[in-house]
């Protein structure tokens, strides 16, 4: 393939998608392609899709139009969850040339011998049962931190979720390969690794193609903590029923793992948790938060919550709101329920009007602002470590402490991807924390 050919990528959705996009991009570069920004003219545009919410589906057409504005003759490829769930729908979008399902996306370079535009998108999809093998991934070069995929797929049957239909059964990378990828990342000078997957607490299942657990998530954490050169390890979203006290205790004493947890709740009502077929009730969630705060009082705890699920009455919503208001958590990720085809929830009674869903979402987003502010205030005066990001935003450089407090200082490119000890001093009008240097950095 000619070295002059250029390829650009756009990623929708989760950290897992970012890790896979980065791996797929490296496969193009290995074939002689030059990777460019999505806003630049390219010969190929690859869009990694998401289908968690209705909004992600709608954004796809906008992104396609944006790519064609740069080059109307560009070859457009759709991959990812939406491409697996609705391949024909994506193939019918004007300008889309190729749609690859769950088993084909990592072989994308095998499909691009001919870059001529197609009248109709070509589909190479699979039955999701065929997605029973594991492909390791990690992101580098896109951000200060790397997303390291350790697990894929899910065996849970939550009634609102299409992810098992899009990604298949729960399966894991081998422990050996995870550790090797972590070493490769650290050797590239990246200071922070975020562990990602669909259901990372289920790590170890399907590690060697069988359903039994060869290793546990705790064993994964323990082994990663021994890898030299990694300054920070961060656990992304983990189910409350799979976050064991042993893991919490280990993180509290670890060399590299930071005091930050993101734990999906989805509802503070046991009635709704049962309708959602979640594998825990509210008491379990409360116990997890209390266990974390007992050994890591300054830990940051993020929460996923869904509003407007079928059957969510005003009383049940207020049950969630009041529960979260009292809970010692740090911020919320609020999702407005949207009907997804081929899920149990679509057939349920008690549909919540869209206006009511939007109102409830707004209330919880307001609560999240309050919770984050309260958490930041609790950290003022603390001495922490910041890792600076790579972007100049309005003349400032931003960074995050180990417990996920966002800080800023005037832009200095020498600070990018460096760690510094600071003392948090005040919260500015944007809700971001300012600080004093404990030791003023000097750069030669």
Report pLDDT digits (tens) over 189-225.
999 999 999 999 999 998 877 777 889 999 999 999 9
- Confidence (pLDDT) at 266: 98
Q: Which fold has domain 264-378?
A: Transcription Regulator spoIIAA (3.30.750)
Return residue ranges of the chain for CATH 3.30.750.210: 131-258
380 pLDDT above the threshold of 70: yes
Contacts of 399 (CB under 8 A, 6+ apart): 386, 387, 388, 389, 406, 407, 408, 415
Query: Under CATH, what is the fold of the domain 383-437?
Result: OB fold (Dihydrolipoamide Acetyltransferase, E2P) (2.40.50)
Encode pLDDT of 321-373 as tens digits. Answer: 999 999 999 999 999 999 999 999 999 999 999 999 999 999 999 999 999 99
Sort strands 300-307 and 331-336 into parallel, antiparallel or unpaired: parallel
User: In the chain, which residues fall in CATH 2.40.50?
Assistant: 383-437
Determine whether domain 131-258 maps to CATH 3.30.750.210: yes
Give the pair of three-digit tokens for residue 285: 């969630």
CA–CA gap between residue 426 and residue 424 (Å, rounded): 6
Structure tokens at 163: 């992810």
Tokens of 197: 């997957």
Reported confidence tier of residue 1, pLDDT bands at 50, 70, 90: very low
CATH 3.40.50.2020 fits 6-126, yes or no: no
Question: Hey, which bits of 51-136 come out as E strands?
Answer: 75-80, 96-100, 122-124
pLDDT digits (tens, 9 = 90+) for 291-301: 999 999 999 99
């Amino acid at each position: 393939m000619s070295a002059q050919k250029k390829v650009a990528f756009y990623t929708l959705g989760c950290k897992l998608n970012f890790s896979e996009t980065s791996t797929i991009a490296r496969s193009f570069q290995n074939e002689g392609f030059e990777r460019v920004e999505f806003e630049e003219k390219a010969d190929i545009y690859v869009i990694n899709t998401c289908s968690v919410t209705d909004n992600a589906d709608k954004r796809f057409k906008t992104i396609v139009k944006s790519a064609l504005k740069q080059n109307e003759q560009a070859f457009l490829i759709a991959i990812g969850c939406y491409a697996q769930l609705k391949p024909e729908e994506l193939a019918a979008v004007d300008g889309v040339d190729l749609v690859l399902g769950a088993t084909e996306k990592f072989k994308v370079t095998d499909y691009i011998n001919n870059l001529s535009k197609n009248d109709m998108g070509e589909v190479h999809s699979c039955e999701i049962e065929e997605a029973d093998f594991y492909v390791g991934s990690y992101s580098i070069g896109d951000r200060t931190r790397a997303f390291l995929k350790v697990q894929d797929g899910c065996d849970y049957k939550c009634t609102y979720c299409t992810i098992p239909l899009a990604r298949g059964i729960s399966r894991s990378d081998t422990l050996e390969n995870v550790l090797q990828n972590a070493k490769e990342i650290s050797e590239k000078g990246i200071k922070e690794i975020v562990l990602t997957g669909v259901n990372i607490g289920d790590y170890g299942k399907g590690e060697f193609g069988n359903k039994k657990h060869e290793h546990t998530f705790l064993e994964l954490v323990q082994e990663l903590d021994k890898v030299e050169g990694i300054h920070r390890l961060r656990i992304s979203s983990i189910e409350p029923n799979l976050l064991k006290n042993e893991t919490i205790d280990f993180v509290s004493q670890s060399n590299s793992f930071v005091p930050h947890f993101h734990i999906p709740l989805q509802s503070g009502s046991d009635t709704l948790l049962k309708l959602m077929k979640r594998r825990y009730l509210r008491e379990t969630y409360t116990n997890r938060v209390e266990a974390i705060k007992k050994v890591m009082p300054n830990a940051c705890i993020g929460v996923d919550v869904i509003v407007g699920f079928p059957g969510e009455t005003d009383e049940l919503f207020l049950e969630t709101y009041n529960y979260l208001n009292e809970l010692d958590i740090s911020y919320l990720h609020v999702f407005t329920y949207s009907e997804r085809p081929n899920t149990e929830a679509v057939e349920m009674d008690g549909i919540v009007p869209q206006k009511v869903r939007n109102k409830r979402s707004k209330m919880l987003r307001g609560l999240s602002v309050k919770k984050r502010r309260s958490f930041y205030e609790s950290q003022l005066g603390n001495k922490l470590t910041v890792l600076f990001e790579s972007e100049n935003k309005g003349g400032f450089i931003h960074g995050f402490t180990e417990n996920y407090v966002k800080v800023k200082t005037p832009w200095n490119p020498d600070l990018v991807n460096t760690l510094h000890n600071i003392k948090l001093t005040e919260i500015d009008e944007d809700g971001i924390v300012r600080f004093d240097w404990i030791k003023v950095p000097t750069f030669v």
